[in-house]
Amino acid sequence: MSLVSTLVVLLLCAWCAILLVYRRRLLRLWREPMLAAPVLIIESDDWGPGPASHVAALERLIELLARHRDAWGRAAVMTIGAVLAIADTAAIRAGEISCYRRQRLCDSDGVAMREVLLAGRARGVLALQLHGMEHYWPQSLLTAARRDAEVRDWLETAAGSDTERLPSALQSRWTDVTTLPSRPLPEAEIRAAVAEEVACFETSFGTRPLVAVPPTFVWTEQVERAWAEAGVRVIITPGRRLTGRDRAGQPGGCDRDILNGERGAGGVRYLVRDLYFEPALGHRPERLCDELARHFALGRPALIETHRFNFTGEQAESAYAALETLLEQARARWPGLRFMSAEALAAGQATGAEWLVRDRARRLEVWLRRAARVDRLRKLAWLSGLALPAWALLAVLGAWRRGEEHG
Ligand SMILES: [Zn+2]
């Protein structure tokens, strides 16, 4: 065998080895639903029992969203990660922090908030998702309050709705943070808590939750299974499952990474929310639109995280303006933009909606783009020369598609 043919064989062997090592990842990227249309979903968490100003903020958001329509006449949708109860801080103080007391959204004090959420749902601009009974595990809160001055101060001075002010680790609901690193909660307690929050959601809104958003994105397979058994079909994720808090109180314990459309315990479907729009923290619409472009080029939906605090805090005015600008710019840049709920997105992906890519050549193009975004694979591909045929194929597929689009 000549030197040239030996080198060619070695090169081909190297390429095969790379593809073999990454075969699972590549297969998952191929199976991940590919969207032919740009889909934009704004996901806003933490709304629940609170003062009248929070109700007014939602009323204003509903009007703002309703003004923006996609080409099919559908209004912009904001999914609401609903918190169903807050600490009744006055009652807990009166009991000298010996036992937990809550105010629920379905109690009489929650009427105005419930009504605005239901009105937004009826107009098709709000989609209600389960964030949790509380934004913490109540027993962890009580234990912390007995020994931590910061938490005791929160119980003594904060309205129960201000959970953003609690220490970060305490805001995770599905892990025991009484000591760090956190420990798993007993499964029986998880199941009871899930049954309770799902029932409370149904009492509050008249329907069972189909979509769940784990607070701080810390949850476990046990939680997932309990949700699935209670009727939850979709879990919003950041692209990986973090199961606890580490020694420093940071989210950790990743036990799987996640792509859109993959299945979890009990058959739940995952969606990935990995775009962030918190105007109060300085996030700008122009920058976000560039990130949307990158997502759409990969056939992925844009699930954008934004929290209640943007629209209820001191900088609320600029947050409304930024949201308005974002929706205007996105509609102008993508005339085929689609607004829908996370639930509708997951259902469409599962049942083969018309906005999915079916054409094999187009799927191959999207798949190559996705593969090129896998960090180490990209480096190895360039080092080994595998990137050259991939790049050439991508160029041919792109030219062919553009020819079809214009012809
Ligand atoms: Zn939250």
Could you read off the pLDDT of 114-145 as tens digits, one per residue? 999 999 999 999 999 999 999 999 999 999 99
State percent of the chain over pLDDT 90: 88
Rounded to the nearest integer, the mean pLDDT of the chain is: 95
Identify whether residues 116 and 179 lie together within a single domain. yes
The model's confidence at residue 98, banded by pLDDT at 50, 70 and 90, is confident
Identify whether residues 157 and 277 lie together within a single domain. yes
Q: Is residue 381 assigned to a domain? A: yes
Total domains, the chain: 2
Given a cut of 80, whether residue 91 has pLDDT beyond it is yes
Given a cut of 80, whether residue 407 has pLDDT beyond it is no
Contact between 342 and 210 (Cβ < 8 Å): no
Q: What is the pLDDT of residues 292-328, one digit of tens each?
A: 999 999 999 999 999 999 999 888 999 999 999 999 9
Identify whether residues 87 and 222 lie together within a single domain. yes
Identify whether residues 191 and 302 lie together within a single domain. yes
Query: Where is average pLDDT lowest: 72-81, 85-94, 192-201?
Result: 85-94
Dist. CA 45 → ligand 1 center (Å): 5
Dist. CA 58 → ligand 1 center (Å): 16
- Mean pLDDT over 41-46 rounds to 98
Given a cut of 80, whether residue 268 has pLDDT beyond it is yes
Given a cut of 90, whether residue 370 has pLDDT beyond it is yes
Given a cut of 90, whether residue 79 has pLDDT beyond it is yes
Query: Where is average pLDDT lowest: 84-93, 242-251, 338-347?
Result: 84-93
Query: Where is average pLDDT lowest: 4-13, 76-85, 153-162?
Result: 153-162
Dist. CA 407 → ligand 1 center (Å): 48
CA distance 325 to 286: 9
State percent of the chain over pLDDT 70: 100
Q: Angle at the Cα of 282 (from 278 to 286), degrees rounded to 5?
A: 85
Q: Is residue 303 assigned to a domain? A: yes
Identify whether residues 175 and 217 lie together within a single domain. yes
Q: Is residue 263 assigned to a domain? A: yes
Q: Is residue 123 assigned to a domain? A: yes
Of the three residues 322, 351, 380, the one that is the final residue of a domain is 351
Dist. CA 364 → ligand 1 center (Å): 37
Identify whether residues 295 and 369 lie together within a single domain. no
CA atoms within 13 A on the CB side of 13: 6
Identify whether residues 316 and 373 lie together within a single domain. no
CA distance 309 to 316: 8
Dist. CA 341 → ligand 1 center (Å): 18
Q: Is residue 19 assigned to a domain? A: no
Domain residues for the domain of 382 are 359-407
CATH number for 222: 3.20.20.370
- Mean pLDDT over 250-254 rounds to 97
Nearest to 204 by CA among 78, 104, 343, 341: 104
pLDDT at 115: 97
* 181 preceded by a cis bond (ω within 30 of 0): yes
Query: Where is average pLDDT lowest: 175-179, 288-292, 402-406?
Result: 402-406
CA distances from 218 to 132, 184, 247 (A): 12, 11, 15
Identify whether residues 373 and 336 lie together within a single domain. no
Given a cut of 80, whether residue 158 has pLDDT beyond it is no
Q: Is residue 32 assigned to a domain? A: no
Dist. CA 131 → ligand 1 center (Å): 7
Identify whether residues 392 and 326 lie together within a single domain. no
pLDDT at 404: 83
Dist. CA 267 → ligand 1 center (Å): 24
Identify whether residues 105 and 227 lie together within a single domain. yes
CA distance 11 to 160: 63
Query: Which residues have a beta carbon within 5 Å of ligand 1, which is an ion?
Result: 45-46, 215
Identify whether residues 120 and 187 lie together within a single domain. yes
What type of residue sits at position 30? W
Contact between 271 and 43 (Cβ < 8 Å): no
Q: What is the pLDDT of residues 99-122, one digit of tens each?
A: 999 999 999 889 999 999 999 999
Q: Is residue 301 assigned to a domain? A: yes
Of the three residues 328, 351, 374, the one that is the final residue of a domain is 351
CA distance 302 to 275: 7
Dist. CA 46 → ligand 1 center (Å): 5
pLDDT at 314: 87
- Mean pLDDT over 38-42 rounds to 98
Identify whether residues 344 and 268 lie together within a single domain. yes
pLDDT at 1: 66
Q: Is residue 31 assigned to a domain? A: no
